[in-house]
Structures are given as C-alpha cells and as structure tokens.
Amino acid sequence: MQTPSCFPKKPERIAFLAAPTDIARQTREKLIGRYGDCPLETADVAVCLGGDGFLLEVLHRVIQFGIPVYGLNCGSVGFLLNTVSDQDLISRLTKAQPSELHPLRMKATGRDGTAHEGIAFNDVFLFRQTRQAVKIRIEVDNRVRLPELICDGIIVATPAGSTAYNLSAHGPIVPLTANLLPLTPISAFRPRRWRGALLPSSASVRFTLLEQDKRPCAAVADFLEVRDVVGVTVDEDRSLKATILFDPDHGLSERIIAEQFAE
C-alpha cells in the first residue's frame, strides 16, 4: 500500500532552488518560466535542482518552514533525488510519496572549552587532523563500550546517510524503518577487527578524545566542522524532521534495499 501524498490538493506555490552549476541553473530557469517561483517562506514545496550534497543543504534551509523537498537530479549520483523528465511537474508532485528524516544532533566541545552544536541529516563523523591516528573512548547511554579505539575516525550515520560516507567506510546499509544508527570506524587500527555496531535510534553516543594534545581531531555534522574537539555527543533529534518526496515505486526505502544488491 502506498503512502498518502503530502498534498490534499495540487501544490501551487513552488520554490525552485538550484546548485551553482550550469545544468541546474538552466533547468531552474526553464521550470520557473513554466510554473513561476516563490520564496521558501510562502511555498508549498521546495524543488531542489542539483546533487545529493545540494539537497542536504536545502534540507537545512527548509526545516524551519516545515515544507517538503522534491529533488531533481542535476548532479552525479542522485541517490536522494528523482530523474529529470518532461512529465508535468505538478502531477509528479501530487503523486510523490514522502519519506520523513530525523536529523542527528551533535554537541562538540573544543579544547578551549567552546561549545558547538549542529544537526546532520547524513552523518556525524570524527576524523584525525594530522598524520597520527586518534584515540577515542566510546560511551553509549553513559556506559563505556570501548575504552580506546585507535583509528582515523568514526561515523554515526542516519539511515538515509548509511549509503553515503558510512557505506564507503564499509558500514552497513540501514532501512529507514529499522530505527537503527550505524556506528562505523574509519580505518580502525586497534581493536583491529572491530567493524562497528548498530545502535537503537534512541541511543546517546559520547566520544571522548584521548591524548588530544598529541592527536588532534575534528568533528563534522553535515556542513559544520569543529576543529580540536575534546568531546562529542550524538543523539537523534526527534523534535525535528524533514520530508523528502519521491516518485511512486522509487521511494527512499526501496532505494536503500536496492543499493544492498547493487554490483
């Protein structure tokens, strides 16, 4: 059974957002000429023209307005986007199926004591700043699970982000409905055979950097990068959500399943 459409009636107010590429800008001009354009704050829906990275930027921009995002692939991979076609856009929007995403919230503390906070629809990851590996203590729900991980870094991904950096680091792909967060090391040295964990989405993860004077580390939440961190906590923020729209039979859950059988 298909998920109901986001729109009780055909959307009329569309905000078109384009990545800074020629094909995205040209596609935007063509669509505006046919359907008009309006500001995000008064739009029924945002149409994103670009790649997966630009779609993530748009999700951060629209979350305050509570409107869904429909992506058209004007980039390379386009895992989170729909294909560009000459089919009537209003009809596609009306039939589109929604997928709701809850972001991760990162709270990072720098060596100078400064607190930083950001959200991530893809992932939060820590990564070494120098040639030396970092040493990280991992706590889950206030219980130490790994006293010391020596590695290049570590990733906490959302289900939607499990097919991105997490997959490249050999982490598991997670279906949207699984309520799980992959915890994946990047080039683990000790314990050498530790391949990560699957955590419940309700879990609170705490990373403490060991020997941070000698082994500096950065923390990243989507587009926010914090250098020289000493501690980072990661939690799923259920108070926030973003809605991405997909053409019928090509929803995000189906794409995540299909990706696991791709060559």
Catalytic residues: 52
Strand duo 134-140 + 123-128: pairing: unpaired
Cα(173)–Cα(170) distance, rounded to whole angstroms? Answer: 9
Which residues, 6 or more positions from 147, have their beta carbon under 8 angstroms from its beta carbon? 137
242 is in an annotated binding site: no
123 is in an annotated binding site: yes
Name the H helices within 17-170: 22-35, 52-62, 89-95, 165-168
122 is in an annotated binding site: yes
Q: Which amino acid is residue 262, in one-letter code?
A: A
For 105, 138, 160, 182, the CA distances from 196, given in Å and listed in that order, are 20, 11, 18, 8
52 is in an annotated binding site: yes
167: three-class secondary structure by DSSP: helix
22 is in an annotated binding site: no
82 is in an annotated binding site: no
Q: What are phi and psi of 202, to 5 degrees?
A: -85, -5
How would you classify residue 47: left for phi > 0, otherwise alpha for psi between -120 and 50, otherwise beta? beta
142 is in an annotated binding site: no
Cα(144)–Cα(211) distance, rounded to whole angstroms? Answer: 18
Residue with token string 């990851």: 125
160 is in an annotated binding site: yes
N-to-C CA span, the chain: 29
53 is in an annotated binding site: yes
221 is in an annotated binding site: no
3 is in an annotated binding site: no
Whether the CB-CB separation of 45 and 74 falls below 8 Å is answered with: no
For the annotated binding site for NAD(+), the residues are 52-53, 122-123, 152, 160, 163-168
For the annotated binding site, the residues are 52-53, 122-123, 152, 160, 163-168
